[in-house]
Structure 1
């Protein structure tokens, strides 16, 4: 049955927040600011917070395909830039100031901090200022691929062809060990983006064998990659014998939860209050939790019980994220979106004028457009 798109999928907001919270838990428990303090019991659970990133990628595949449907490539670019950059620039400013003063973060030169403002610093061979910025580099490349799809127009059939082609190219990149293909088609995270896209097709048009096949193949690739290549850190914490099965179980849970959301099985969660608010603060929380946590834990750990210090750091990160998402981010997003939309209008007008002038020239006569 075709889903209604008039209702916001608030359960996706909840899943986004859960992904950010799991990453926060992993980072806060492992933080060097604790010194000799350890959370041995909690650590056995929080270590799986690294897979919150994988959930983020699946959600991104689902949401980005939904957002690009019916839009031009230019409209899609405007929406993504306006969504990503304001909070990101704020986080670079905060982390840059802390880095230059030696309070937190890698010791980067001022020009390296400036490069981080572009979000493409990895392409320039410059270190990330924030530990989570590497995921945004993957997101940008995913957006580039989706932008190519938007150029030809998004339809169900073209999405299927796009996902099949991406899957083949990602596998080819792995088999050929080609750095260029690996850069373009991201073999390790492609299964999560593709699974999210396939689940959106299921959400949009109902269950069908082909998109479910993409979900199944993506799950297999994700599990195999995680237990053979990407799961060493988790196996280290839980023992070589249990580790692979725990990793497979957590990744399976990620796929199952997203499938439940896509098929409407989690729709009852929309009754919960403040889910949209939780979704809004997710991105600032993801970007800023590390510096906030390091500063609060560094100050509180010597004076408070460890659980109280952990609670204080978590509360501080949530409050900062709420401030950014409710007060600072919305006006910045509106201003950037307005400026980009105005620029897109100018581009279209100039393009239309150039075509009109070209259409008035005799055949074979070069067209000229006044500056």
Structure 2
């Protein structure tokens, strides 16, 4: 199987549209809504530190939704980059990420300046830095707490763009992941800041495992990709078990290690089932609509949700206000998708694609 796969793929693959895996849309939405419920369930905006004790016993695990996002990204971004050059890949990612993100920064920046969503009023420099999505690298504070994950994704995209410039093949993927795992260990050993910044050690185990799972999905299971899935799983567990304070606690008491291992293992198991095609039957068209809501929901839910909680919790009561606020942020996500993403993504992508071939119109005249 490995020999057959490498014969197929050692030359850079030709661009081809992969069939849409709608189960990934469902998983992305589940990850996003779990983060939403985690934030809404844990916030003191309800007027008490534990407004929903029974619900919080479940929603507290939403903190791990971000890790599922990273697993999915490893899978999807390698799939997206396969057969593309770095320019085409970059254009697709910029058009995908920035329209909704710009809308988020402008809205939350305006609310912040007005003092409606935070006690910190952003400066003009902070607004400009956040508009670039590079604020983390520039050491400028995020306007929104969830923006930290976007820096992790951007670094991953930059690594994949460099990889695409070399030409992505099966064997090169194995070498790329092997180098990443080895350098992660080196960076930890020598405490090298530059390596730490480039290798994004928090999300790297999930990106690496997601990439390996895409190889399994595309070329079939063989030993090397499974070894990288196992390495990603092991690195993820080493990391999460060493967190201090722990990511999840119940009434201030950390959860047992066995439960944390079970949660991380479940995330990996679900993605293994995706890679093996076990979940291909989840191919309902409406899942695409759920997937479309995921990114704007993630970007807009936090500050807007807290603002709405503050307005609605007293007149409606906590139990009624919670579903109303969740419905409201879903409605905002849908509006952003329809009014911002759909019209702007295609135009931005077309403009970026034109810019990649602009030099053709300016070929030197004569000999």
TM over 0.5: yes
The answer as to 2:356 corresponding to 1:344 is: yes
8 Å CA contact retained: 2:304, 2:329: yes
Q: Quote the offset at 1:238 in angstroms.
A: 6.8
| Residue 319 of structure 2 is aligned to residue 327 of structure 1 | no
Please say if 1:290 is aligned against 2:313. Answer: no
RMSD: 1.9
Residue number among 38, 62, 70 corresponding to 1:57 in the alignment:
70
Kindly provide the CA deviation profile for residues 118-162 of structure 1, in whole angstroms up to 9, marking residues without a partner as x.
000111111000111010001000001001110010111111110
Task: Give the equivalent residue in structure 2 for 1:243.
Answer: 256
List per-residue Cα deviations over 1:31-79 (Å, max 9, x = no partner): 2321126111221221111110000001000000000011110000000
Distance 1:89 1:20 in 2: 19
- 1:323-368 Cα offsets, whole Å, 9 max, x none, are 1112321111111111111111114555xx36x98xx5xxxxxxxx
TM-score, structure 2 normalization:
0.91
> Once the 2 structures are TM-superposed, how far is the Cα of residue 291 of structure 1 from its aligned partner?
2.2
Q: 2:24 aligns with which of 7, 12, 22?
A: 12
CA distance in 2, matches of 1:313, 1:230: 32
2:194 to 167, 180, 183: 180
Q: Which has the larger radius of gyration?
A: 1
**Structure 1, 34-43 or 245-254: larger mean CA deviation:** 34-43
Question: Is 2:281 the partner of 1:268?
Answer: yes
Which residue does the alignment assign to 1:365? none
1:75 equivalent to 2:88? Answer: yes
- Distance of 1:224 and 1:257 partners within structure 2: 20
Provide the rounded CA distance (Å) in 2 between the counterparts of 1:125 and 1:104.
Answer: 22
The separation in 2 between residues aligned to 1:132 and 1:230, in whole angstroms, is 20
Distance change >3 Å, CA 249–CA 238, structure 1 → 2 = farther
Of the three residues 35, 43, 46, the one matched with 2:59 is: 46
Superposition deviation, residue 281 in structure 1: 0.8
Q: 1:146 to 1:104 in 2, by over 3 A?
A: same
Distance in 2 (CA, whole Å) between partners of 1:312 and 1:64 is: 34
Tell me by how many angstroms 1:234 deviates.
1.3
Q: CA deviation at 1:292?
A: 2.2
